[in-house]
Amino acid sequence: MEAAADRGTVCVTGAGGFLASWLVKLLLSTGRYAIRGTVRDPCVGKNAHITALEGAGERLRLVKADMLDYSSVASAVDGSQGVFHVASPVPSGKSSNPEADVIAPAVTGTLNVLKACYEAKVKRVVVVSSVSALFNDPNWPKGKALNEDSWSDEESFRKNEEWYFLSKTMAEREAFAYAAKTGLDVITVCPALVIGPLMQPTVNTSVKVFLSYIKGDQETVQNEPKNLVDVRDVADALLLVYENPQASGRYLCNSTAIRVSDIVNILKTSYPSYTYPQNFVEVEGRYTYNTEKLRSSEARLGLQTYGGNHPGQLRMLPSFGHPELSSIQLWLLLLGGSFFPLHVNSKTE
């Protein structure tokens, strides 16, 4: 099965997750790869959203692996030419044991993957980090757009108990430290809040952020700019840097910010029966971002490999054959149609 792929086998960790599912779909659509996806439970029912994808029967194999169990990770990685490390815990609430629940899976899990890749002589590893690993740099010049040279202050995250932000920052630092020590080719992609259509049957953390605006329990919200990126663009970015021989280091993946009031207005227009925030407290955005490095990487490759929109353009631009709507609007409408009636109790009379 795996020998049939033009570019050999790649491993995707956490293959059944929100972003990883779209990456698996993209890899299958190229016809160039056999994919070995790690999952906690290879049960067909839990992973039907990826096992049913076109080409999955011939080129996708799911294997059970725990990122904290090195032997299972090594077994999954063995024989792969490349690895996409996507698996990482995203807490939906406050953890009672953040070191065990959030930090260890992210940091130790990443190191286990990298060690396994080094031992298996994997050619390139692409690690999904986060914009949180760069947006909290106390030494960054005021007014200058953040770029890949910025690193967040870990102690600040620890002091404020922002465990997810801390875990992503620590894991990315450890990844580059390991690469420097061993010579392993490691690239990281740092996306903003990832949104987009859901392939998996469960609601992920980023969806819950938007559902919170229509549950009726917030009369007043901060009208802050939200930095969002479409999940399909992140998948494109991951494949882009993997296939680009000149790619190196970190890549920031972001799009134009959209204010909370604009998100609410889009939802309110299409779903007026829900109870929305009535008051918006204006808050200036703290950060601007420079994604020139990723855009330059696209330009060098001609942007023709994947079709449609790309990480430099991003799906904030009109797309999907609906020029009057941005993809953020379309995503909210699609999400509303499929999830709002199921997961939100309307409080209107």
At 128, phi and psi to the nearest 5? -85, 115
Distance CA 78, CA 95 (A): 33
Is the separation of the CB atoms in 81 and 155 below 8 Å? no
- Alpha carbons within 13 angstroms on the beta-carbon side of residue 63 total 19
User: In degrees rounded to 5, what are phi and psi of residue 183?
Assistant: 85, 5
Tokens of 249: 């280091």
Q: Any idea what DSSP says for residue 132? A: G
At 125, list the tokens. 């590893």
- Token pair 């609601």 in the structure block, residue: 203
Residues with catalytic annotation? 168
d(CA 329, CA 172): 32
- Strand-pairing partners, residue 190, are 252
Q: Which two tokens stand for residue 69?
A: 């169990």
Strand partners, 135: none
CA–CA distance, 202 with 67 (Å, rounded to integer): 21
| Residue among 312, 170, 327 nearest 253 (CA) | 312
Residue 36 phi/psi, 5-degree rounding, is: -110, 115
Ordered DSSP codes for 160-197? TT-HHHHHHHHHHHHHHHHHHHH---EEEEEESEEE--
250: Cα separation from own chain's centroid: 14
Q: Which two tokens stand for residue 183?
A: 């010579």
Kindly give the pairing relationship between strand 186-191 and strand 124-128: parallel
